[in-house]
Structures are given as structure tokens and as C-alpha cells.
Amino acid sequence: AQRVTQPEKLLSVFKGAPVELKCNYSYSGSPELFWYVQYSRQRLQLLLRHISRESIKGFTADLNKGETSFHLKKPFAQEEDSAMYYCALKRDTGTASKLTFGTGTRLQVTL
């Protein structure tokens, strides 16, 4: 069965400090991993996907199949990064985007 694990419920960092939000997954098929973000009073939205290998708002994430991880990183945290972050795994079944979500990590960036 597929599973996504985010071990930290809350991560508190100072502004300017590096950020790493952890995500591990278990899945027997070919995984597609995503990070979704929910800012205060906003809808849940896609932040980035591993296929694109892009940097969004300074965040990057590399899929490590050996360690089955997809950690989200940013070298210097900003106040506006404070939000709830969800790691998600797309199951390789059919064409629908059936995502399995982790339990989420709240990032708190303080001055």
C-alpha cells in the first residue's frame, strides 16, 4: 500500500535560516511526488512537482528513490513561507490524479 510520512507536525525556524521539510514515501510502483502548500486564509495549492525539477519561491525538492524521500528545502526562510505544507504521492493507476497526502507540516518562520 502507498503511504506518505511527514514526521514533523511543526517546524519553527528563524528568518534567514535554512529550511528542510521531510517527506518519506512507500510505494511499489513508479512514484510521482508533489508538494502542496496552504497559506493562511488561502486554498491548498500546488507548490512543486518532482518531474519539473524546478525551483518555486526558492524551494526545491529532489526525489531520492534509494531513500524513498522527497524533502522540501529552501536555503533562507522568509516570513511569507509560514504555511502548512503537504507532501503528496500520485498513484500510478489510470489517468486520474489520485493523490495520497501526508499529514502535513506547519512551517513557522519567526524574526
Query: At closest approach, how far in Å is the CB of 69 from another protein?
Result: 17
17 binds another protein (CB under 8 A): no
Cβ distance to another protein smaller for residue 78 or 97:
97
Amino acid present at 110: T
Q: CB-based burial of residue 99 (10 Å sphere; 0-12 exposed, 13-18 middle, 19+ buried)?
A: middle
9 binds another protein (CB under 8 A): yes
The helix or strand, by DSSP H or E, that contains position 72, with its residue range, turns out to be strand 72-74
- 111 vs 15, 20, 23, 41, 78, CA distance in Å? 5, 18, 26, 21, 9
* Chosen residue from 19, 32, 61, 81 binding another protein by CB under 8 A: 32
Neighbours of 91 (CB within 10 A): 15
98 binds another protein (CB under 8 A): yes
Q: Between residue 38 and residue 97, which ones bind another protein under the rule CB under 8 A?
A: 43-46, 49, 51, 86, 90, 94-97
In the complex, the residues that contact another protein under the rule CB under 8 A are 4, 9, 32, 34, 36, 43-46, 49, 51, 86, 90, 94-104
